């Protein structure tokens, strides 16, 4: 029996070593191709740790858009979801923008079809249209200003108090902005499938177990969760709060991918993922973000595919509201 036990250990070690060596070879080849092709790999905070480790730049939607607008790289590999690739292509029409997996969509963007949103806007012709960046390029083309969770309040505050506003597609974010600005924006009824599923009772139970922990909530979450938060903010804002606050424990109510960067920036602190409403499910993971893998990054660098293309008419209409977003967030 002891012989088989040691054989089992040796086999497992060899399998682990093989996987580790294959990963190292993949990473090495990615780095070589980045240098050879003058390619910039960008990743959202919600992607897998292995993707964040090889990325040249990591950020939230606003930071990724800013970086895309200013980079001199010939190729951008956008590790995130499809609308992020579209935004980068609109900002950099002369660059090749690649995405590792075209099926990496966004439930929030899917909740707001361009034809339906156009009909909604047409019923309110006297309203300024503000769209969350988590939308398709076609929806951005119907928009006056694009915002992210990091600058939405600042953008809304910059408009006259009596200005009538349509805000879409995230109802939870829109409700939060209404609450902190005193506005009564007309809201589209969309939601993120991850942020809409966190358990209020589960978070309250965690808070009882860890009374010193502070609660960090993304504004895409429902209003009751926002009300119990010590900090409501974008992914980048939550990261900054965790770095600068004196607390040693945090309950993190957003997609679990951010925990990697939080732990990397604050190794002395403890970050606890908030539980979803459905016990045992992985609902606090965005399955779309997790479609980005090292193997897919390597393949798209080798083949320079899949490449994002956006219709020229849509680019012409969408570029101005995106540029306004960048201008108003300075």
- The per-residue pLDDT for range 146-175, each reduced to its tens digit, is 998 989 999 999 999 999 999 999 999 999
pLDDT at 23 over 90: no
Q: Quick one: pLDDT at residue 24?
A: 79
Range 2-102+292-303 classified under CATH 3.40.50.10800: yes
Q: What is the mean pLDDT of residues 38-51?
A: 96
Check residue 257 and give its pLDDT. Answer: 93
108-191 is classed CATH 1.10.10.10: no
Mean pLDDT of the region 37-45: 96
Report the CATH architecture of 195-285. Answer: 3-Layer(aba) Sandwich (3.40)
| Residue owning tokens 């006297």 | 126
- Average of pLDDT values for 287-304? 96
Q: What is the DSSP string of 42-96?
A: EEETTS-HHHHHH-SEEE-HHHHHHHHHH---SEEEEES-HHHHHHHHHH-TTSE
Assess whether pLDDT exceeds 80 at residue 22.
no
Tell me which DSSP letter residue 275 carries: P
Asked if 108-191 and 195-285 have one fold, the answer is: yes
Rounded to two decimals, the pTM is: 0.87
- The predicted-structure confidence for 249-269, as pLDDT tens digits, reads as follows 999 999 999 999 999 999 999
Q: Is the pLDDT of residue 86 over 70?
A: yes
Q: For residue 278, is pLDDT > 90?
A: no
């Amino acid at each position: 029996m002891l012989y088989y036990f040691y054989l089992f250990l040796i086999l497992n070690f060899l399998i682990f070593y093989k996987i580790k060596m294959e990963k190292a070879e993949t990473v090495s080849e990615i780095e070589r191709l980045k240098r050879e092709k003058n390619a910039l790999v960008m990743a959202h905070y919600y992607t897998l740790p292995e993707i964040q480790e090889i990325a040249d730049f990591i950020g939230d939607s606003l930071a990724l858009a800013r970086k895309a607008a200013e980079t001199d790289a010939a190729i951008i590999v956008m590790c995130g979801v499809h609308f992020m690739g579209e935004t980068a292509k609109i900002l950099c029409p002369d660059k090749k923008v690649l995405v590792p997996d075209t099926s990496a969509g966004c439930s929030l963007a899917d909740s707001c079809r361009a034809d339906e949103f156009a009909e909604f806007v047409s019923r309110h012709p006297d309203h300024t249209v503000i769209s969350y960046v988590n939308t398709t390029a076609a929806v951005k083309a119907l928009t006056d200003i694009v915002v992210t969770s990091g600058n939405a309040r600042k953008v809304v505050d910059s408009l006259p108090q009596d200005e009538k506003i349509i805000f879409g597609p995230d109802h939870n974010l829109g409700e939060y902005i209404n609450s902190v600005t005193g506005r009564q924006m007309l809201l589209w009824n969309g939601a993120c499938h991850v942020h809409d599923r966190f358990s209020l009772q589960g978070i309250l139970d965690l808070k009882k177990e860890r009374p010193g922990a502070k609660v960090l909530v993304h504004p895409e979450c429902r209003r009751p969760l926002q009300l119990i938060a010590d900090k409501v903010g974008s992914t980048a804002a939550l990261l900054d709060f965790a770095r600068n606050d004196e607390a040693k424990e945090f309950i993190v109510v957003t997609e679990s991918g951010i925990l990697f960067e939080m732990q990397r920036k604050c190794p002395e602190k403890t970050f606890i993922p908030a539980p979803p409403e459905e016990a045992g499910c992985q609902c606090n993971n965005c399955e779309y973000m997790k479609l980005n893998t090292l193997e897919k990054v390597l393949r798209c660098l080798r083949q320079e595919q899949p490449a994002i293309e956006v219709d020229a008419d849509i680019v012409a209409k969408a570029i101005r509201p995106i540029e306004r977003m960048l201008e108003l967030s300075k």
